[in-house]
Amino acid sequence: MKKFKFVVYKITFPNGKIYIGKDVGYDGHTIRYFGSWNHLAVEADFTKDELMDFTIRREILFESDDKVEVGQREMELIVKQQANHPDRGYNKVPKFRD
């Protein structure tokens, strides 16, 4: 069985907002994992009708065998892509600073 690397991924929602996260599970990257974004914050941005047909996109931005490196890169990418800016994304950490 192929061992997958650990990854940093980006989720893009229909409104253009993003969430950046990492998958460092015991067995490495899995196609089934879509992060731990706050579903209430996302749902608040959409109508009920919009939520009835909802598509998100997941992109792998970085991969490594080193969990520490993946964690560091995740934080760098959150800040670089402003995924923690309330108007741009759903990441809450690190806290956005103007």
| Per-residue pLDDT tens over the stretch 31-60 | 777 888 999 999 999 999 999 999 999 999
Element (H, E) at 82: none
d(Cα 45, Cα 39) in Å, to the nearest integer? 10
Task: Give the global pTM.
Answer: 0.90
What are the strands, taking DSSP E only, across the chain? 6-12, 18-23, 57-64
Under 8 Å CB-to-CB from 82, ≥6 apart: which residues? 88, 89, 96
Asked if residue 16 has pLDDT above 90, the reply is yes
pLDDT at 45: 97
Q: Which range has the worst mean pLDDT, 7-11, 15-19, 92-96?
A: 92-96
pLDDT at 25: 80
Amino acid identity at 68: V
d(Cα 49, Cα 41) in Å, to the nearest integer? 17
Output 77 or 98, whichever has higher pLDDT: 77
